[in-house]
Amino acid sequence: MSASSSQPRAHGDAVLSARIRTRPEDFFVEELPGFEASGSGEHLLLTIEKRGMNTAFVARHLAQWAGVGEVAIGYAGLKDRHAVTRQRFTVHLPKRVAPDLATLAIDGPDESLRVLESQWHAKKLPRGALAGNRFVLVLRDVQGDAAAIETRLQAMASRGVPNYFGEQRFGRSGDNVAQALAMFGGRRVRREQRTLLVSAARSELFNRVLAARVAAGHWDRPLEGEVWMLDGSRSVFGPEPWSEELAQRLASCDIHPTGPLWGRGELRSTGECQSLELSALEGVDAAALRAGLETEGLRQERRALRLRPEAMTWRWLDAGALEVAFSLPAGAYATTVLSELGEIASAGRDD
């Protein structure tokens, strides 16, 4: 289930085929900050717009510019190279003396970088310290019936989409799960690679459960023994008896059904919901992934099965191009939103 093309769609068969990332400007991402700058401290907080370079490249560039080690650079999340992105970085400068910001700029035909804003802040920017991301995406060479595409977009905006982990979790060649199985079987890997493979294994199991619920038609509907997650948070509750109040909250997307992020301990779900989850995770490879995650010391957690893109809009451009814009919370993937439309080929792979 790691490849998006193999995952069942919630809203029906594909309604289009298209291409994306034919140019960096077709994939625009802007971080939604999780906090305001403190205005004082030893960390220079920079908002940077970059084109044609990934986050790791910018972090190295900042370290060289400031004359510090890369450990002094903080950022909330990784952003793609084949895109135009805006994100924040911190640079630890204990003496509060920063080199000329103008010397940070890069202005080339394929790569560019400019500083949009700078402020002082009290702490290094940690991973995950963002509210989400705003995307403006252009699909080109769109093939499909315009009315059917509009209907699908309206359904996605109102009902949401399955909250699959995106293909980025599974590596460029899609073999991170196979590598995770080898690692759990005894193959030695570097520490940073271990973290990546553990995440891929956990994501694979979640996607299998979600795919089973999509195929059964209740990815956004309740099962007996359901565990719920509050929208916009990681707070979970339940199981509890079905009620009119829960029905209203589910319909308004205030709560979402959840699936397991595998680890040690008992599944929180019960009854019909737990039975489906365990059934979706049968098989030799799934058992090996589950055992490996438990050995790594992870504990059972939950993730929402449903994702509703916020402020979703779209418009047709010239030459059969379609622009789609929406915001997603941290940990959600634009590729999983687009895959609900159909088959979309990427001219430039995500980092």
Q: In the block, which residue shows the tokens 């570097």? A: 190
Instruction: Note down the domain range covering 75.
Output: 35-128
Instruction: Assess if residue 328 is contained within a domain.
Output: no
Q: Is residue 321 situated within a structural domain?
A: no
In sequence order, which residues have a C-beta less than 8 Å from that of residue 103 and are 6 or more positions away?
65
pTM above 0.85, yes or no: yes
Tokens 């960390």 belong to residue = 43
CB 152 within 8 A of CB 10: no
Considering the domain architecture, whether residues 168 and 303 belong to the same structural domain is answered as yes
Average pLDDT over residues 155-183: 92
Pairing of strands 342-346, 16-20: parallel
Residue 330, domain member (yes or no): no
Q: What is the CATH number of the domain that holds 66?
A: 3.30.2350.20
Q: What percent of the chain has pLDDT over 70?
A: 97
Q: At residue 266, what are phi and psi to the nearest 5 degrees?
A: -85, 150
- Are 178 and 263 contained in the same domain? yes
Q: How many residues are listed for the chain in this entry?
A: 351
Question: Do 64 and 106 fall within a single domain?
Answer: yes
Which residue numbers are catalytic? 80
Over residues 212-232, the pLDDT tens digits come to: 999 999 999 999 999 999 998
The rounded distance, in Å, linking the Cα atoms of 226 and 344 is 33
Same structural domain for residues 198 and 289? yes
Predicted confidence band of residue 47 (pLDDT cuts 50, 70, 90): very high
DSSP letter for 6, please: G
- Cβ-Cβ contacts under 8 Å for 8 (sequence gap 6 or more): 211, 214, 215
What mean pLDDT do residues 95-106 have? Answer: 90
Q: Are strands 73-75 and 306-307 parallel, antiparallel or unpaired?
A: unpaired
Rounded CA separation 244/12 (Å):
28
Q: What is the pLDDT of residues 85-95, one digit of tens each?
A: 999 999 999 98
Of 106, 128, 150, the residue at which a domain comes to its end is: 128
Q: For residues 343 and 5, what is the distance between their CA atoms, to the nearest angstrom?
A: 7
**Residue 348: predicted pLDDT:** 64
179 and 242 part of one domain: yes
> What is the reported pLDDT for 241?
96
- 145 domain residue, yes or no: no
Copy the structure tokens of residue 92: 């630890």
The dihedral formed by the CA atoms of 52, 315, 133 and 115, expressed in degrees to the nearest 10: 50
Assess if residue 300 is contained within a domain.
yes
Quickly list DSSP for 234-277: --EE------HHHHHHHHTTSEEEEEEE--BS--S--HHHHHHH
15-27 confidence digits (pLDDT tens) = 999 999 999 999 9
- In a domain, residue 86? The reply is yes
Peptide bond into 109 cis (omega under 30): no
Helical residues (DSSP H) of the chain, grouped into ranges: 55-66, 146-159, 176-184, 191-216, 244-251, 271-280, 284-295, 334-339
296 domain residue, yes or no: yes
Beta strands 342-346 and 161-162: pairing type? unpaired
Q: Is the pLDDT of residue 286 over 60?
A: yes
Give yes or no for a contact between 210 and 259, defined as CB atoms under 8 angstroms apart.
Answer: yes
Whether residues 180 and 123 share a domain: the answer is no
pLDDT tens, residue by residue, 106-146: 999 999 999 999 999 999 999 989 999 999 999 999 999 99
Q: Would you say residue 173 has pLDDT above 90?
A: no
Residue 274 lies in a domain: yes
Q: How many domains does the chain have?
A: 2
Q: Rounded to whole angstroms, how far apart are CA atoms 108 and 158? A: 41
Residue among 276, 156, 281, 267 at smallest CA distance from 222: 276
Verify that 172 and 117 share a domain, yes or no: no
